[in-house]
């Protein structure tokens, strides 16, 4: 352990003083060579003399003006290979590209240059780096939401939705027990009779009328559906928008067509992690009249 730490300190000191060993700090930016970067990685792994795996340079990449060394680490006893990254100018070691690109974003003084799009109420940023001197150019990319990195845009959008729901006064009630909802809203539940679609036997459930929404509980007193009629904003849209206006914000829906239960009603449906949203209108061109959020 002490040898590994000492090796790391020596290499990092070379970055500060220059490879020639001068006591004066060079005015030129110092960079690690491939061999020095590998020493830094091994020291970080505390495995300078380890026989458990082999580390070799996979390729180099360009990130801004800096060179990034990508090393492949292969277990000598089998198992999946991993790729580790070493920044040639800072000596920082990263064990995945998302971590590296997120750090680059956080250190940037001009983060707006990385804006990719605005989804619902949140900016999504995009960073990438490409391999250099490589016959098969590889691109590493990441999407950033609220200082967290995601490997693809779909995952980043899911994070936006999850954060929005968690902080929304109405949507955050979905999946909550009646006691939690009463504590959050200050309202007592009312008993409502539900007509059995099959016409066999009606049953009763609890409901709460809260903030332009009817909150419905299932037979276990868990919020299973939220019916929205008023102008309440949610997911970056609101009832009263047309289907086109909604899809301009949320993207393409899972489905759109005539409602299976009600005549003269068009339904547009979105599926998210843990819940679905249905918007209802008299026609595809008309303004939506209501929406239903359903627990998956």
Residues 11-35: tens digit of each pLDDT = 455 444 444 444 444 445 688 999 9
Q: Report yes or no on whether pTM surpasses 0.75.
A: yes
pLDDT in tens, 135-156: 999 999 999 999 999 999 999 9
Query: Mean per-residue pLDDT for 61-84?
Result: 91
* Gap between the Cα atoms of 73 and 59, Å rounded: 13
pLDDT in tens, 87-101: 999 999 999 999 999
Handedness of CA 70, 57, 84, 41 (dihedral sign): negative
Output the pLDDT for position 155. Answer: 96
Ranking 48-52, 146-150, 155-159, 183-187 by mean pLDDT, the lowest is 48-52
Output the pLDDT for position 50. Answer: 64
Output the pLDDT for position 199. Answer: 66
Query: Mean per-residue pLDDT for 121-143?
Result: 96
pLDDT in tens, 173-182: 999 999 999 9
Return the domain boundaries, the chain.
1-95, 96-152, 166-295
* Gap between the Cα atoms of 260 and 262, Å rounded: 6
- Give the up-direction half-sphere exposure of residue 89: CA atoms within 13 A in the CB hemisphere: 10
CA–centroid distance for 143 within its chain: 7
pLDDT in tens, 192-208: 887 776 667 777 889 99
CATH number of 166-295: 3.40.33.10
Output the pLDDT for position 28. Answer: 59
Ranking 51-55, 266-270, 289-293 by mean pLDDT, the lowest is 51-55
CA–centroid distance for 229 within its chain: 30
Average pLDDT of every residue of the chain: 89
Q: Select the more confidently predicted residue: 132 or 230.
A: 132
Q: Select the more confidently predicted residue: 36 or 12.
A: 36
Closest CA to 267 of 230, 249, 294: 294
Output the pLDDT for position 125. Answer: 99
- What's the pLDDT band for 231 if we cut at 50, 70, 90? confident
């Amino acid at each position: 352990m002490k040898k590994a730490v000492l090796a790391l300190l020596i290499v990092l000191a070379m970055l500060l003083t220059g490879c020639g060993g001068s006591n004066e700090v060079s005015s030129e930016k110092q960079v690690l060579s491939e061999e020095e970067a590998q020493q830094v990685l091994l020291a970080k792994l505390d495995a300078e003399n380890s026989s458990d795996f082999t580390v070799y340079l996979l390729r180099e990449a360009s990130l801004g003006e800096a060179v990034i060394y990508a090393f492949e680490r292969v277990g000598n006893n089998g198992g999946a290979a991993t790729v580790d990254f070493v920044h040639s100018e800072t000596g920082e070691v990263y064990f995945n590209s998302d971590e590296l690109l997120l750090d680059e974003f956080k250190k940037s003084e001009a983060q707006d240059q990385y804006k990719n799009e605005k989804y619902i109420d949140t900016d999504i940023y995009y960073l990438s780096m490409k391999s250099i001197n490589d016959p098969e150019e590889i691109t590493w990319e990441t999407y950033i939401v609220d200082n967290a990195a995601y490997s693809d845009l779909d995952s980043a959008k899911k994070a936006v939705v999850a954060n929005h729901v968690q902080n929304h006064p109405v949507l955050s009630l979905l999946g909550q027990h009646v006691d939690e909802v009463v504590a959050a809203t200050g309202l007592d539940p009312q008993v409502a009779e539900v007509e059995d679609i099959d016409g066999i036997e009606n049953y009763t459930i609890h409901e709460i009328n809260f903030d332009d929404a009817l909150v419905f509980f299932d037979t276990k007193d868990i919020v299973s559906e939220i019916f929205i009629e008023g102008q309440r904003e949610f997911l970056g849209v609101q009832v009263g928008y047309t289907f086109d206006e909604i899809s301009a914000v949320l993207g393409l829906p899972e489905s759109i067509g005539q409602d299976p239960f009600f005549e003269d009603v068009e339904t547009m449906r979105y599926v998210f992690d843990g819940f679905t949203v249905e918007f209802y209108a008299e026609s595809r061109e008309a303004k939506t009249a209501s929406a239903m959020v359903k627990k998956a």
